[in-house]
């Protein structure tokens, strides 16, 4: 018997050596409670893993990782522990410096969906706004001002804040 989301082993009535099952559940929970992985999309187990380190297994695993594509692989004193991700699981990818999120089928790297971004109570980014066309024509043309406006618009487009 296992929990539905994280597949942690459950104790059952009259079970002998309950501490083994309990310790296994704690070991797995230790990797899942605040997940950080050394790297993701790695197909071969590292040669010298350190106890407590974790990876996201790639799509073509080899060695002791065979059969665990897309899962978290954590190294323990007792060897590898594999944990299948559930929808919405987010992990910090240490070698990249960004978050990865499991969508139910694949890991999405560095993508953080949101309706807005707020810093110290002030909304600084929201949904993309409609396109703003570059200035053209006019009675009085200030070339320098027009060039700066175009640079500002290009920067807003490059950051995805307005449509192209």
Q: Please report the pLDDT score of residue 6 as a whole number.
A: 67
Q: pTM for this structure?
A: 0.68
pLDDT in tens, 109-148: 988 888 888 878 877 777 777 777 877 776 666 887 888 8
d(CA 161, CA 164): 9
Residue 97 is given by DSSP the state T
Q: Summarize pLDDT for 68-100 with one digit per residue, the tens.
A: 999 999 998 889 999 989 899 999 999 999 999
d(CA 9, CA 38): 25
The closest alpha carbon to 81, from 101, 103, 52, belongs to 52
Q: Closest by alpha carbon to 85, among 66, 70, 63?
A: 70
Instruction: Give the Cβ contact number of residue 49 at 10 Å.
Output: 17
């Amino acid at each position: 018997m296992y929990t539905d989301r994280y597949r942690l082993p459950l104790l059952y009535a009259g079970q002998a050596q309950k501490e083994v099952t309990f310790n296994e559940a704690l070991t797995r929970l230790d990797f899942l409670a605040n997940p950080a992985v050394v790297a993701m999309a790695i197909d071969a187990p590292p040669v010298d893993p350190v106890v407590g380190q974790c990876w996201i297994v790639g799509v073509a695993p080899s060695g002791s990782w065979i059969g665990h594509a897309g899962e978290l692989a954590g190294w323990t004193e007792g060897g590898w522990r594999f944990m299948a991700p559930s929808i919405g699981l987010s992990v910090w990818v240490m070698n990249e410096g960004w978050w990865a999120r499991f969508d139910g089928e694949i890991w999405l790297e560095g993508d953080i969906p949101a309706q807005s971004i707020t810093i110290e109570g002030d909304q600084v980014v929201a949904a993309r706004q409609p396109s703003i066309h570059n200035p053209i024509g006019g009675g009085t043309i200030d070339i320098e001002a027009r060039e700066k406006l175009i640079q500002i618009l290009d920067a807003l487009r490059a950051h995805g804040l307005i449509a192209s």
